[in-house]
Amino acid sequence: MSTKIAAEMAALATQIEEHNHRYYPLAAPLVSDQEYDRLLARLQELEQAHPELRQPDSPTLRVGGAPTSQFPSHRHEHPMLSLDNSYSRQDLLDFDRRVREALPDEAVAYVAELKIDGVALSLSYEHSLLVRAVTRGDGVAGDEITANARTIRNIPLRLREPGIRAEVRGEVYMAAEDFAALNRQREQEEEALFANPRNATAGSLKLQDPRLVAGRRLRFSAYWLHQPESKAATQHEQLETLERWGLPVNPERACCASIDEVFAFYDRCEARRQDLPYDIDGVVVKVDSLDQQRRLGNTAKSPRSAIAYKFRAVQARTRLKDIALQVGRTGTVTPVALLDPVLLAGSTVQRATLHNEDEIQRRDLRKGDMVILEKGGDVIPKVVGVVLEERPAWAVPFVFPQHCPACQSSLVRDPEEVATRCENPACPAQLKRRLEHFAGRGALDIEGLGPAVVDQLVDRLLVRDVGDLYDLDLETLSGLERLAKKSAQNLLDGLERSLQRPFDRVLFGLGIRHVGATVALALARHFRDLDTLSRATAEQLEAVPEIGPTIARSVGAFFANPQNQPLLAKLRRAGLQLALPEEERVAPPNFFTGKTAVLTGTLMHYTREQAAAYVMQLGGRVAASVSKKTGFVVAGESAGSKLDKAHELGVLVLNEEEFVARLAEAGLVVVPDQL
């Protein structure tokens, strides 16, 4: 009996996957949706009655399983690099010239493919079965979302050829009609609408419940293959291999014998852009020969054999209703255009930055103007012009106010920058932004302290500076809107954990002008504690290699301001780390002492910030470029021009293993898994 049932289940699975293949990659369905649903329901019924007979590649996995609590991180076997972008024909001609100069006297052909505006995903197959799906993440490691990927109907759970071990990469996206249907559903349910299909796709892949992902009708398009035993010699042969295995590959592609043929393909695609059933933002151009790709190699972030040729920015016209002002954490007042809603490159735009007062005057922007918008890189909306013929008769030049919109203090024009600032440290708008910065991941990383909570803390006068955060209690926090007792306790726990963040992150969290994370680390390593730093003269500050006069003046002014002394006293009282641990204070002479390091390429086990911290902890310093004064270069994978420069100058080059060995020799044993 079980043999008969197993045979029926196998036959159903084969039928269903064949229908999936014909419906999605081939767009040639053989049965109605009702018939497909009947087959799937029968297979589910049999699997529920006989769970021991369910196969690991069963089509029912596409329905989605139980929710997960989190996505585990998975390190890519090969880094997922990003592509360089080009926005003009000259950029592409320059790319073609660089390729041909690197491959002298060789014929070069290209493959041009549509650049779908989606989310990158890596699929791993073992014995032709899908075993893992991982997002790009930071390019080195991403989130494993295998359960979610299995719900994407055109991703084969089993390849159509046996015994294959391979990694496939591609783009997950949402078709225009499915995006519209999703937003209609969300509107009916009074949920926030997605701005564009790409955002909807990214949000869908992050859902912890695969059953919800299954309802989003996501699609996948493959464009890259790594298979050690592959006999393919070209990119277009790899794409044909992917198709033969049953993976969806976009048919809109062309083999181009010259850069002129690439331009012709680009022009055809741009003309048809609005007619496609999915969003594209350009064309990807790749050297066709895989051997030439390997010899061209990579820079730190991108392959030298490929480039994204982006479409010209899409423009739209709309009415400028008003110009509002927003205040940043350092007091910079930025004008913002408030617009009649307009659809632009797949999303509805209602606001756009106007940068500063000079930008408004240069374009002579006025309330009531018909303005021209475009998206820089198809991402950030900006005002690029005014339709003067449609300017209302009542429109008058915009006069930048003299008082802060949040606290009414007098505004001051910065003589060194094109910026206007509110210099009132008690300004509530500045305080809100400072609190958000202080709680950010790069600073104190305080879980639960988001904008909604920050607004209430400031508006109710519960917090007047970041130091007051550490006087909050459960009763006070529980009284805030939409902050239940459990959430309030989570925030208190986050504040408690922040007491262990190292000195440099506290220093960064203070939000001193011009003091980013790298400068904060340099100051912490040099001065060792807050008291010593606060007494430093301008000359002493400028003696730190990374510090120039502008940063020195900013740091000196912060500690000289008497209004900041109560804040620093609160941080001391709360118990934050305002000094380096004793064991980090004096590093005995070692390989790193007094040497300048340059980091290049992708390190597999550490971030650049971690590696830089190790060097500085052991008495070295880190520079951005290679020179004759460079002591050594740490070269990770895909190292580029800095590595070439090091070889040219005869500078010592360490790979990652050699770097870690030198750290150990200096007495600093680091654990890769701490990343």
Domains delineated in the chain: 2-63 (1.10.287.610), 85-310 (3.30.470.30), 315-390 (2.40.50.140), 428-498 (1.10.150.20), 503-583 (1.10.150.20), 587-674 (3.40.50.10190)
DSSP state of 374: E
pLDDT of residue 619: 78
Residue 74, Cβ neighbours under 10 Å: how many?
19
pLDDT band at 662 (very low <50, low <70, confident <90, very high): confident
d(CA 432, CA 453): 10
What does the pLDDT average to over 169-196?
A: 84
pLDDT band at 241 (very low <50, low <70, confident <90, very high): very high
528: CB partners within 8 A, 6+ apart: 579, 580, 585
What does the pLDDT average to over 146-172?
A: 92
pLDDT of residue 156: 92
Look at 194 and 112; give whichever has higher pLDDT: 112
Q: What percent of the chain has pLDDT above 70? A: 90
Strand order in the sheet with 652-654: 621-623, 596-600, 632-635, 652-654
- CA triplet 285, 288, 292: central angle to 5 degrees? 110
pLDDT of residue 673: 36
Catalytic, out of 115, 286, 310, 375: 115
260 has pLDDT over 50: yes
Predicted confidence (pLDDT) per residue in 476-532, tens digit? 999 998 888 888 999 999 999 999 999 989 999 999 988 887 788 889 888 889 999
Q: Which two tokens stand for residue 619?
A: 């008495």
pLDDT, mean over the chain: 85
What does the pLDDT average to over 596-619?
A: 76
What does the pLDDT average to over 439-457?
A: 89
Predicted confidence (pLDDT) per residue in 129-140, tens digit? 999 999 988 777
Is residue 220 a contact partner of residue 157, using CB atoms and an 8 Å limit? no
Strands 596-600 and 621-623: parallel
Residue type, 139: G
pLDDT of residue 379: 59
What does the pLDDT average to over 459-470?
A: 93
What does the pLDDT average to over 571-580?
A: 92
pLDDT of residue 169: 95
pLDDT band at 674 (very low <50, low <70, confident <90, very high): very low
> Has 231 been annotated as catalytic?
no
d(CA 386, CA 363): 7
